[in-house]
Structure 1
Amino acid sequence: MKKINFPMLLLAILVVLMFCLVGVAIAYESVLLIILFILLGFALMGYGIFLKRKSDY
């Protein structure tokens, strides 16, 4: 069984949380928060992909 990579797990949980918060921002009808959480979600996802590619080589 492989060891759990906790920093990457935390990063993945943060990405999912950001996109869940987009739903909350939609419920509050706050365009600024919607844009903020979408951008943060994609930025964190991009950072995770960057780290994954960097660790593979």
Structure 2
Amino acid sequence: MIAAPSPEWFKSSYSGGSGTECVECARVDAGMLVRDSKQRDGAAFAVSGQAWRALIDTLNARVH
């Protein structure tokens, strides 16, 4: 059996430079993974693609 590739994690461009309040996300087939950037070996949670899109649309509506 071939192991799945490790997800490629990224931080938001809005994250502060101090490193104290960041989350990281990674795209996966089913949607997104989210984790605390200070605890990279800790737990991550999965968000479906549909739920992620709803979150982004809601945040964009509040910003604009």
Higher helix residue share: 1
Same fold (TM over 0.5): no
Higher strand residue share: 2
